Amino acid sequence: MGTLAPVVYFAPKDGWHFFGVKTEFLTMEKFEHPRKQENADISNIIADVDTSMTLLEDDPMIQHKNGSNGDLGAPSGAEHKEDASTELQFSDEGKGNLHRFFETLASVAANKQKISILHYGDSQIEGDRMTGYIRQKIQDQFGGFGPGLIPATNIYSTVTFKQTFSKSFERFTCFGGASLKSRKYGVMASAARFTKEYEADSTLKLDTLSEKSGWIEIAPSASAYQRARTYNNVLMHYNSCIAPVKVKVFQNGGLIHEEQLIQDGKQHTLKLSFPSTPGTLRYEFTGKISPNICAFSLEGDYGVQVSNIAMRGSSGTVWGNMNQDILRSMYSELNTKLVIMQFGGNSVPFFKDSVGVRNFANYFKGQINRVKTLNPGAMVVVIGPSDMSKMEDGIYETYPFLPYCVEKMKEATISAGGAYWNLYAAMGGRNSMPAWVDKGLAGKDYIHFSNGGAKIASQLFYNALMQEYNKWKGSGE
């Protein structure tokens, strides 16, 4: 203390500068009047959110006899709140787009149709957090079963489904890590292969290649929400099959289906149907050149499919990095009616000034417009970043440019004809994250929700969505 006391006494407020390097130390003012942690009051926010749910319980190739009777998909008639603490924000154009989505949503079960909602996001939704809860609420109310799309090779911890795969399968993504030269990832922005990529041109000599193999195994999870662990249709989406590839499908150890994949390089789907949830399915592949396995989809017969598409580390500016024809084809096949884009959190820590924020928002607006171009008629809802804290002088505070980022993302979304939901405000605004951490609703990184916190955030979003749905339903538009 005796040694450091003079340093504290004489330490300048702005620190010392030595050859262009800034050095700071505890000042006398901060020693005598240390700052105290300021947390937003979120008690009313938490008290008003109900996250409870009512859950219901070489010879000729073998061809699977699809066994669904087409009846799995009816809603359970769950109730939803008539109001919300936060609202979706949109223009007149966005209102029209949202109402067209509601019109489809309201009739999907009665017409025994199938539509898709794709929830894109960064690590805040990783492992089906937020999406899983939102899916259960939507499917309870409007119909549908199953988790929808799942990655060909999942690497994130999740309780929604079980999946294992052979070491021969390699994962490729458009948002970091190994990437595909063809950029033919499909709508999940990732794909898997059991061989490297080859060009289908005159230099390709199949007789010089040896045969390779790989397998992927999928099973329902007893820990998943009730609707997600129930499905009877399993689809495999693939493309870039340019050489003979045979797939065998085993159900609980027994061979049920064999097929030669379509060898034209285009986007295709292998679909199997069952009378009920099929248990463990194992897909075994054999061929000299692997296709891109883009995704599997676990579905009911009709209703709403809500897919979780998490992209760790992504800022949500990846759509230009993917083959547009493949994207357009898959979006159409899935009958995509709503795209949720939950981003911003990975950009906030790196903003140095307001110009950087505006540049990001403008670029993000371009991504919204690209998504709309790929999905004519689909609605886009943007969920902005949550509150995030950085430590300054031992105190956790909201990142300086986060509120401005929220405002610019909101402006970009509304001007693009989408709807914006302000997660930052819903949490309680400035310095709300430390309060969520104190209550066990977020992790010690002061960025990510805990499972309990994710449920509350998801219910707040669902309340805002249903508030607009109720307005539309009551207006008769």
In this prediction, residue 93 has a pLDDT band, given cuts at 50, 70 and 90, of: very high
Percent of the chain with pLDDT over 90: 78
Tell me the mean pLDDT in the region 77-105.
87
Q: Which helix (H) or strand (E) holds 231?
A: none
Instruction: For residue 449, give the DSSP letter.
Output: B
- Model pTM score: 0.90
Distance CA 195, CA 188 (A): 20
Distance CA 258, CA 201 (A): 28
Tell me the mean pLDDT in the region 141-160.
96
Cβ burial of 192 (10 Å; 0-12, 13-18, 19+) is buried
Q: Within 10 A of 373 (CB to CB), how many other CB atoms are there?
A: 12
The reported pLDDT for the residue numbered 53 is 65
Query: Is residue 255 within 8 Å of residue 64, measured between CB atoms?
Result: no
Distance CA 408, CA 454 (A): 24
Instruction: For residue 123, give the DSSP letter.
Output: G
pLDDT beyond 80 at 244? yes
pLDDT beyond 90 at 352? yes
For strands 88-90 and 389-392, give the pairing: unpaired
Higher pLDDT, 142 or 474: 142
CA 424 to chain centre: 18
Q: Which of 105-114, 136-145, 385-394 has the lowest mean pLDDT?
A: 385-394
The reported pLDDT for the residue numbered 49 is 76
156-199 per-position pLDDT tens digit:
999 999 999 999 999 999 998 899 999 999 999 999 999 999 98
The reported pLDDT for the residue numbered 57 is 44
Residues 6+ apart with CB under 8 A from 305: 114, 115, 116, 117, 144, 146, 148, 149, 297, 299, 334
27-85 per-position pLDDT tens digit:
666 666 566 767 777 777 877 777 776 544 455 788 888 888 888 989 987 666 656 77
R_g of the chain, CA atoms, integer Å: 25
Cβ burial of 68 (10 Å; 0-12, 13-18, 19+) is middle
Query: Is residue 78 within 8 Å of residue 449, measured between CB atoms?
Result: no
**Helix residue ranges, H only, 33-91:** 43-47
In this prediction, residue 383 has a pLDDT band, given cuts at 50, 70 and 90, of: very high
Report helix, strand or coil for 306.
strand
Tell me the mean pLDDT in the region 426-430.
95
359-368 per-position pLDDT tens digit:
999 999 999 9
Residue 347's nearest CA partner among 314, 372, 377 is: 314
Pick the CATH number of 43-57+62-475 from 3.30.380.10, 1.10.540.10, 3.40.50.1110, 3.30.2020.10: 3.40.50.1110
The domain locations on the chain are 1-34, 43-57+62-475
Distance CA 17, CA 354 (A): 26
pLDDT beyond 60 at 1? yes
pLDDT beyond 60 at 252? yes
- Extract the tokens encoding 192: 């898997």
The reported pLDDT for the residue numbered 56 is 44
Please provide the average confidence, as pLDDT, over all residues in the chain: 91
The reported pLDDT for the residue numbered 92 is 97
In this prediction, residue 328 has a pLDDT band, given cuts at 50, 70 and 90, of: very high
The reported pLDDT for the residue numbered 150 is 98
Distance CA 116, CA 221 (A): 21
Region of 444 on the Ramachandran plot (φ > 0 left; ψ -120 to 50 alpha; else beta): alpha
Report helix, strand or coil for 194.
coil
The reported pLDDT for the residue numbered 19 is 67
The reported pLDDT for the residue numbered 3 is 80
- Extract the tokens encoding 100: 């067209």
